Structure 1
């Protein structure tokens, strides 16, 4: 077996409620809990405002023959798990799809984004 202790990026796996999907690329995640906006006055920077930010996981999925793209749009309470090349596992629980999915037929892919209350790294 190859030594992977120095691997930082590359291979990734994505599953939803235990079902693995073909990940074509562009896997991203956000474990951020807040969004901050700087508040600027006419005289100086006054501080910032802070609002809650949903956790998110997104990626480009391959549209395999037996796959139902409509089923992704119906996802409202799913667990999304990502296994990354660096050994990290990213999990979002009670997530829902945030955007409508559109298939790009030239590549047989579509983008999907899940959002939820939090995304955790382990």
Structure 2
């Protein structure tokens, strides 16, 4: 068995609109799905309702002098992807940033979260 088939964590890369960024830590994602909520009546369970649940891709990057937090806060309709040690690729299209990015100057890091309706694992 090759080493890459046994590796499950560690090395990774982050890309936004085709540009590589310095991935520091905490790559996370959720694929786009539907959320079901049970509908309970007074006499029995009546069924469920279903709503669309957006996917997300988030990560912590190293702060560099060639990028600004404002660059990320203005991102909409972006393509975002992660390449993970396991060989898995997570990608989303038409994504936008949510939440304000805060820089940790002591560590030289900031976290960013993108959400969208099309996040997939391959």
1:19 equivalent in alignment to 2:19:
yes
SS class of match (2:6):
coil
Q: 1:57 to 1:68 in 2, by over 3 A?
A: same
Q: Residue by residue, what CA displacement relative to the aligned partner does 1:55-102 show, whole Å, maximum 9, x if unpaired? A: 210111111122211100000011001101111111101111011111
The residue number in structure 2 matching 1:117 is 117
> How far did residue 41 of structure 1 move?
3.9
Q: Report the more deviating stretch, 34-43 or 98-107.
A: 34-43
The TM-score with structure 1 as length reference comes to: 0.89
Q: How does 1:2-81 map to 2 (within 5 A)?
A: 3-81=3-81
Aligned residues: 121
Calculate the aligned-residue CA RMSD, in Å: 1.6
- Contact 2:103 / 2:110 at 8 angstroms: preserved in 1? yes
1:104 equivalent in alignment to 2:68:
no
C-alpha distance in 1 between matches for 2:104 and 2:68:
14
SS class of match (2:3):
coil
- Unaligned 5+ runs, structure 2: none
